[in-house]
Amino acid sequence: MTKVYPKGTLLFLEGQPSDAVFMLCQGKVKLSTCSSEGKIIILDVVEPGDVIGLSAALTGAEYEATAEVLELCQVNYVGTGDLIKFLQANPEASLNAARQLSRNYFTAYRQVCSLGLSDSVVDKLARLFLDWFLSLPGQKALEEGLFLHSMRNDAPGPAGGIPISKIKLLLPDDWQAFLKSRTEFQREWDKMTGLR
């Protein structure tokens, strides 16, 4: 069944018994979780093509996150029983479900490692940048011609590339002074982008 949901709609709540999956056709949905102290962390922003609530539906568990519509969404709603029957009858669909669960696991693994194994805030920030560039929105930015590269002279950037020093969103105006006082940032950036 296809439905359209306005911004702010909650598709499901963390801890609610799972009874369906939601296949996102259009729009964006935020997945978040909340601690017992009321702290909320955004786990993901789901884009068209993803199935939301898949692991909970397949295991019969409660939804592990809250799903909130960020912009007008078109969603295909499939009850858990119907999903199970469909997957049993369609091996290719089962393989696609396994692939999505594997992507979800790999993403969670990388996030936990990034948070738990990073030595410094700079390391975490550099990993955040790198992960963004590897994500779908990051890849779209690359397709649209936003190329970033290191400031190092021995590491030429791609044609039409922008040195990281030209990014003004999060970086100070005096980039050289920043690099001299925060050499670990440049070192981590270069290490993660393969320049060192």
Q: What is the pTM of this model?
A: 0.60
Nearest to 103 by CA among 141, 50, 42: 50
- Using a pLDDT cut of 90, give the percent of the chain over it: 29
pLDDT at 16: 94
pLDDT bracket for residue 44 (50, 70, 90): confident
The residue ranking higher by pLDDT, 84 or 171, is: 84
pLDDT at 72 over 90: yes
Specify the 3-state DSSP secondary structure of 18: coil
Q: What element of type H or E holds 54?
A: helix 54-59
Nearest to 104 by CA among 38, 21, 35: 21
How many other CB atoms are there within 10 angstroms of residue 49's CB atom? 10
Q: Give the pLDDT mean for 59-81.
A: 92
pLDDT at 8: 93
Distance CA 183, CA 57 (A): 47
Query: Could you tell me which CATH number the domain at 2-117 has?
Result: 2.60.120.10
- So where are the chain's domains? 2-117, 121-192
Distance CA 146, CA 143 (A): 7
